[in-house]
Amino acid sequence: MKKLLLFGYIIIAISACSKNDKIIEEEEVFTDKGTSVFADNNPYNDVMMQAFWWDSYSDSKTNNYNSFYDFFEDKIVGLSNAHIDAIWLPPPSEGEGMGYHPRKLFDFNSEHGTKEELESLITSMKSRKMHPMADIVINHRIGTSNWTDFTEPAWSCESICIDDEGFTDPNAFGTKPCGDLDEGESWGGARDLNHKSLEVQNGIKDYFIRLKALGFDSWRYDFVKGLPAKYIGEYNQSTPYYLSVGEYWDGDINALKGWIDNTKFTTSNILTEESAAFDFALKYKLGDAIVNKDYSLLESNNSLARESGYGNKSITFLDNHDTGCINRTDCDNLFSKNVNELTKGYAYLLTHPGIPMIWGYHYFFTDTTGSLRKDIDEFILIRKEMGINATSSVRVIEAINGSSGYYVAEIDSKLLIKIGDAPYIPSGTWIELKSGSGYSIWSK
């Protein structure tokens, strides 16, 4: 590495003498650099982080804190100094476990912490010009004491789709659902909500107002295959926001584009801003390219991020709470557990178009030496200093498969990246910025 800032770390030499030896140790001392100099209130320039992982609220890694919110508030200054802009927080409402089966939407005391701890965390984030993203779970709900008795807010039988298990399962008890047929994919673990109902629509719009009052300014929509995209458009249009992204879990680029396009209209056909989507197409192809060394997969338009007009609607990522296989056994979508492969993956994400998302578990815990975190910090700084953003251009120079292969691409005609174990010498006046096991980055 020939040119990089030091990210607020100072290397201090501490000497200690034994009988025969003088031991020199290096210790890192963190220095708060204040609000990121790159904070510009433009999501297209942002780097995101997902704060949590499965059962993070009860994980032993957070046991030294009062709550998960308290744990993560302790990380905010460091993340701000690393120039991370938007933070996706777990579902904020009271519900089962992680909150993906919400019970009381308007009660913001959850397994992750109290409402007051959540407000304190959000206040800390906003003081550093960071953007808090709420996890919006509105495809389904569970009852308070039985299958269908909704409280906070209380909704009638019309709020539940009539083909939900609450109507069709003989073991169900409570009010029989009486809403319209489900318009999307069903979810068997909770009651599918009838979004045709104005009671549901108005209740959810009220929910967004309450989230805004807490300090949230961005939305991550859970399981959007469960409801037509027009409802996402409707809810987005109802409340001003900074960034909106949907979990449309599909590796097909055209399916992702179709969903995004359909979010630009409300239920009454009013034109509104399209939501972004997580780039599952890239996740799977990047995994095959790096883990299996099939670099040719990265040669063509392999992702939503590289589709013309969709770079600013793509959230690129390696893993999340569902795919990361932490504290769960029902997961088979893991990118990799190999730190070198994760480093290459983040080298790609943080030098390419799309809005890149870092998974908090990777950042804090996957590599106990801290080298993955430091590499990610340096990749972010390169991205910010070089002005790489969601709409940057990519020119693939070469892609050769196999252990003696690599992927080489030029970004915005000012940055060159090589991923792969084989050596590569660029032609022209390129200066190496950073290199490591299986990757190199140059600038002009």
Cα separation, 118 vs 187, in Å, equals: 28
Does the pLDDT of residue 159 top 90, yes or no? yes
**Positive or negative: CA dihedral 160, 165, 167, 172:** negative
CATH number of domain containing 126: 3.20.20.80
* Structural domain containing residue 299: 40-392
Does the residue 419 lie in any domain? no
Does the residue 405 lie in any domain? no
Q: Render pLDDT for 250-299 as a digit per residue (tens, 0 to 9).
A: 999 999 999 999 999 999 999 999 999 999 999 999 999 999 999 999 99
Residue type (1 letter), 126 = K
Structure tokens at 3: 């040119």
Does the residue 322 lie in any domain? yes
Name the phi and psi angles at 296, rounded to 5. -65, -20
Cα separation, 160 vs 164, in Å, equals: 7
Does the pLDDT of residue 26 top 50, yes or no? no
How would you class 32 by CB atoms within 10 Å of its CB: exposed for 0-12, middle for 13-18, buried for 19 or more? exposed
Enter the pTM of the model: 0.93
Does the residue 181 lie in any domain? yes
Does the pLDDT of residue 144 top 90, yes or no? yes
Does the residue 402 lie in any domain? no
Cα separation, 306 vs 309, in Å, equals: 8
Does the residue 415 lie in any domain? no
Cα separation, 417 vs 403, in Å, equals: 17
Question: Please, which pLDDT band fits residue 301 given cuts at 50, 70 and 90?
Answer: confident
What pLDDT is attached to residue 28?
A: 61
In SS3 terms, 91-103 reads as CCCEEECCCCEEE
Q: Render pLDDT for 209-261 as a digit per residue (tens, 0 to 9).
A: 999 999 999 999 999 999 999 999 999 999 999 999 999 999 999 999 999 99
Name the residue with tokens 């359909």: 262
Instruction: Specify the number of domains making up the chain.
Output: 1
Question: Would you say 356 and 305 are in contact if contact means Cβ atoms under 8 Å apart?
Answer: no
Please give the radius of gyration of the chain, using alpha carbons only, rounded to the nearest integer: 23
